[in-house]
């Protein structure tokens, strides 16, 4: 017989709001401000007024925890699904202010026309029209009197029927008696099961990540400062993307400004760089893995709940220690010196723009590695070398592109056992061996994706080696990348299309080169045989058609820096397939030389 792991109980809205005000239910903001438009709040109230179903709320009770004195304390209920609907009720019926998606504090006022039983977002025109009650929150104030409200309405609208108006206003006031279905999940369910239930019940089907649950646990715990910690994570991520947001924090959240967290992040207000803009998931991964020596965020959720992995019990002391440890990790992440050092190291490897970075998890583990290396007391120069090499290796092998949590967990446990430098050296030696460079990498470079990690690393290599743009005399690849240069097709795209080649054939990374727009335009759709012949003439006293290179030696240096085989001046100019084969080998060799220089 299957044991039911949840209960379904309808509750009046009034009772539900009471639970929230008393703290029986915690609404974890989970990094998400109130995102509903005011019109959606209006529609929500209209559905309640008409008695339409408004969906289920999903609650998950924190595990019962054993206190230090041995007593058991039942955990609060956490709202897993329904935050926006409950916030809409509190904003419209109770007059509560909300934090909008633009991080501004505002009131949402919904007006009601009892004559036509219509709801509308309040505006100046409605406020001047006597047939509207401009703010329905007035009807739900503790001392609100139906008799007084009706009398006031009649004084502004003397020709309407008293009984009819009284009936409709009373109907609106009674929507707090409407029942909402509540699904309460068993406290011992694991996160994967809770996620599955959420997806099946929630019509939107938006998957909750492990980080969402971790943020829920953090926000729900006021005893150990979780609510403030969650806000610190949220604000840091927003500041990283929008530095001017600091004005909103200083204006609207004085308590946070006075906390220990704000001084640690206010430096972001002067940062315009977007090489690494972390999300709350990124912050949690780095802080958790670097401090706890684990890689799976479901373990963080369990630890914040006080789980003892050996006894399978929940203990307050473990919860307290876990919050303290996570806080340290978040503060280390926010530290300007740490953050700047990691981004500086990436830049020193040629990754000067976020368009070259690829997946965030590669950066996340580089940050973890940096924090662990620093904790081990490794010298700064060695840390830089280790991070550069690990980052590039991770990109080239797609180390964190599949199931990152599993690999994070494996890597951090190995680092704990062997130390940063020995483990990094061992992995690199076994992964980037001779067969990788000579056979596997050229084979993997047979791809059409301009955001392929191989092409991204290749461009970083060109930046690191200070290469000039394709056929450029003075302008470096680094400048072209920063200014969104063209990706030139060495065998022009339209030339190949006319030969009947498909997109996946002419858009090969071995056919790409970073070039100035004017050089790209001047080449146009010319066959390689033609424009390379014209280039040969150009460096032997002929007309200057492409860029400013007029010496043979400079031309050969430029072609070599772009891994272009010199046979392109003769046999390869007509053999596109063989050109790709030869260039992939040269590109792989260039990446190898670049990696060895890191």
Residue 101 has pLDDT above 90, yes or no: no
Nearest alpha carbon to residue 185 among 308, 60, 74, 278: 60
In percent, the amount of the chain with pLDDT more than 90 equals 61
Cα 372 from chain centroid (whole Å) = 23
> Would you state the pLDDT for residue 347?
96
What residues contact residue 459 under an 8 Å CB cut-off, 6+ apart? 350, 356, 477, 481, 514
Token pair 């743009």 in the structure block, residue: 469
Q: What's the chain's average pLDDT? A: 88
Q: Which two tokens stand for residue 262?
A: 């704000």
**What pLDDT digit, counting tens, does each position of 296-320 carry?**
988 998 898 888 888 888 888 999 9
CB 440 within 8 A of CB 573: no
Residue ranges per structural domain of the chain: 6-201, 218-430, 442-597
**What pLDDT digit, counting tens, does each position of 413-454 carry?**
999 999 999 999 999 999 999 999 999 999 999 998 888 999
CB 368 within 8 A of CB 290: yes
Q: Which two tokens stand for residue 142?
A: 């503790």
pTM: 0.78
Highest mean pLDDT among 147-156, 284-293, 315-324: 284-293
């Amino acid at each position: 017989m299957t044991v039911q792991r949840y209960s379904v109980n309808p509750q009046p809205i009034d009772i539900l709001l009471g639970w929230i005000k008393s703290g029986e239910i915690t609404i974890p903001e989970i990094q998400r401000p109130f995102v509903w438009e005011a019109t959606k709040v209006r529609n929500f109230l209209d559905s309640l007024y008409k008695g339409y179903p408004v969906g289920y709320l999903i609650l998950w009770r924190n595990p019962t925890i054993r206190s230090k004195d041995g007593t058991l304390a039942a955990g609060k209920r956490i709202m897993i699904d329904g935050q926006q609907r409950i916030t809409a009720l509190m904003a419209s019926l109770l007059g509560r202010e909300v934090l909008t998606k633009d991080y501004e504090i505002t009131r949402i006022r919904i007006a009601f026309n009892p004559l036509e039983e219509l709801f509308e977002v309040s505006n100046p025109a409605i406020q001047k029209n006597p047939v509207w009650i401009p703010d329905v929150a007035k009807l739900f104030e503790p001392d609100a009197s139906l008799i007084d409200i009706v009398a006031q309405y009649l004084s502004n609208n003397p020709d309407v029927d008293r009984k009819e108006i009284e009936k409709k206003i009373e109907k609106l006031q009674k929507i707090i008696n409407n029942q909402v279905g509540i699904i309460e999940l068993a406290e011992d369910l694991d996160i994967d099961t809770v996620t599955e239930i959420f997806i099946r019940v929630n019509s939107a089907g938006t998957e909750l990540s492990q980080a969402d649950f971790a943020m829920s646990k953090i926000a729900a715990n006021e005893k150990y400062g979780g609510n403030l910690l969650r806000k610190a994570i949220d604000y840091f991520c927003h500041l990283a993307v929008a530095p001017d947001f600091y004005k909103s924090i200083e204006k609207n959240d004085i308590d946070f400004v006075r906390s220990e967290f704000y001084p640690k992040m206010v430096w972001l207000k002067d940062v315009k760089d977007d090489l690494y803009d972390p999300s709350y998931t990124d912050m949690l991964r780095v802080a958790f893995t670097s401090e706890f020596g684990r890689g799976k965020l479901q373990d963080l959720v369990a630890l914040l709940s006080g789980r003892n992995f050996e006894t399978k019990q929940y203990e307050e002391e473990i919860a307290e220690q876990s919050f303290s440890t996570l806080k340290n990790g978040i503060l280390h992440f926010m530290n300007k010196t740490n953050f700047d050092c990691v981004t500086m190291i990436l830049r020193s490897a040629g990754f000067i723009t976020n368009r070259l970075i690829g997946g965030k998890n590669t950066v996340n583990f580089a940050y973890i590695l940096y924090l662990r290396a620093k904790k081990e007391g490794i010298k700064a120069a060695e840390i830089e070398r280790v991070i550069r090499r690990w980052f590039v290796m991770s990109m080239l092998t797609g180390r964190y592109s599949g199931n990152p949590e599993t690999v994070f967990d494996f890597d951090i446990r190995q680092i704990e056992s062997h130390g940063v430098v020995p483990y990094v050296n061992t992995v690199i030696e076994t992964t980037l061996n001779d067969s990788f460079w000579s056979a596997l990498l050229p084979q993997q470079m047979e791809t059409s994706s301009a955001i392929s990690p191989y092409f991204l690393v290749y461009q970083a290599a060109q930046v690191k080696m200070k290469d000039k743009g394709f056929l450029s005399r003075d302008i470096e690849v680094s400048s072209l990348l920063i200014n969104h240069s063209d990706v030139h097709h060495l065998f022009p795209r339209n030339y190949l299309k006319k030969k009947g080649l498909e997109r996946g054939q002419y858009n090969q990374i071995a056919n790409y080169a970073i070039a100035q727009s004017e050089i790209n335009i001047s080449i146009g759709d010319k066959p390689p045989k033609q424009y390379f012949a014209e280039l040969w003439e150009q460096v032997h006293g002929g007309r200057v058609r492409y860029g400013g290179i007029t010496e043979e030696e400079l031309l050969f240096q430029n072609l070599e820096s772009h891994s272009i085989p010199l046979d392109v001046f003769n046999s390869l100019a007509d053999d596109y397939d063989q050109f790709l084969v030869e260039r992939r080998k040269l590109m792989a060799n260039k990446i190898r030389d670049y990696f060895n220089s890191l």
